Amino acid sequence: MSTSGPRVVAIGGGHGTAVTLRAATRYAGRVTAVVSVADDGGSSGRLRELLDVVALGDMRKCLVALADRDAPLVKAFEHRFEEGELAGHALGNLILAGLLGATGDLVAAVDEAARLLGSVGRVLPATTEPVVLKADAWGGEVEGQVAVSQAGRIRSISIVPGDAAPPACALEAITEADQVVIGPGSLFTSVLASAAVPSVAEAIASSPAQRVFVCNLRPQIPETQGYDVGRHVSALAAHGVPVDRVLCDTSAGIPLGEVEIPLLDTVLTDPAGRVHDPGRLAEALVGLLG
């Protein structure tokens, strides 16, 4: 990373935020991820039930995104067991759980994992305690990230407990940032699962940073079925998460709709047109900073 580059904070979780982090390392001087810990599916969900810990999978993905992906330990972090009692677990999730048990502190555990992997930025949880994602959907209230992802026509989401707090260093990073990048990723179960944490939303709203929303390449069915770019932006605003700029790629399939803030519609996909390309995303984000 450039030692004189901007301070960039990426907010979200999972694969989308991992792409943003890989983009940010190309131009930023300091990179911080504020990551959702509400997942209750797969390896993360099983470890939550067994150990009463936050979801660890999205933080693992972000740590790997900030490290040398060809390094043996980084590859091992993503190794997923296929047989026996460990089937389905990613080794990195188990290491993070072990570090949490050894340190007794979630932030310290993730920082130590970053040191082991040689990650060039910092990964922080959106909350330091286990939370449940809840949605007000067309058919009534739905609880749990997996269930919310399968619900359509979502009106709003929240977390339980509602006063769950992020670590102070996450709020400091947002306050000190030059650019806050929100997304891409699943709107309700990834992006807003992190950004709608009350203290995080307040920090974004009051931050002097340039706040950029990177929209998904296409609607996610059923979670955002029928959504265009404008509806994504409106959902953020309805949850108290304002943005100053929007990045999208309507050539990938998502309609534009009505967007009342400055927008850049440009090619952001990889050559196959399936996912965001870190290089193209970095170029666009640098351009927004001027």
Q: Is a pLDDT exceeding 90 seen at residue 86?
A: no
Backbone phi and psi for residue 151, each to the nearest 5 degrees, phi listed first:
-90, 140
Q: How confident is the model at residue 2 (pLDDT cuts 50, 70, 90)?
A: low
Q: Is a pLDDT exceeding 70 seen at residue 288?
A: yes
Q: Is a pLDDT exceeding 80 seen at residue 34?
A: yes
Nearest CA-CA partner of 56 in 165, 118, 183, 64: 64
Average pLDDT rounded to a whole number, residues 210-223 = 95
Domains of the chain: 7-289 (3.40.50.10680)
Q: Are 281 and 19 in contact, with CB atoms under 8 Å apart?
A: yes
Average pLDDT rounded to a whole number, residues 89-95 = 94
| Residue range 151-207, pLDDT digits in tens | 888 999 999 999 999 999 999 999 999 999 999 999 999 999 999 899 999 999 999
| Residue range 267-285, pLDDT digits in tens | 999 988 889 999 999 999 9
Token reading at 165: 């707090």
- What single string gives the DSSP state of each residue in 87-124? TT-BHHHHHHHHHHHHHS-HHHHHHHHHHHHT-SSEEE
| Residue range 134-144, pLDDT digits in tens | 999 988 999 98
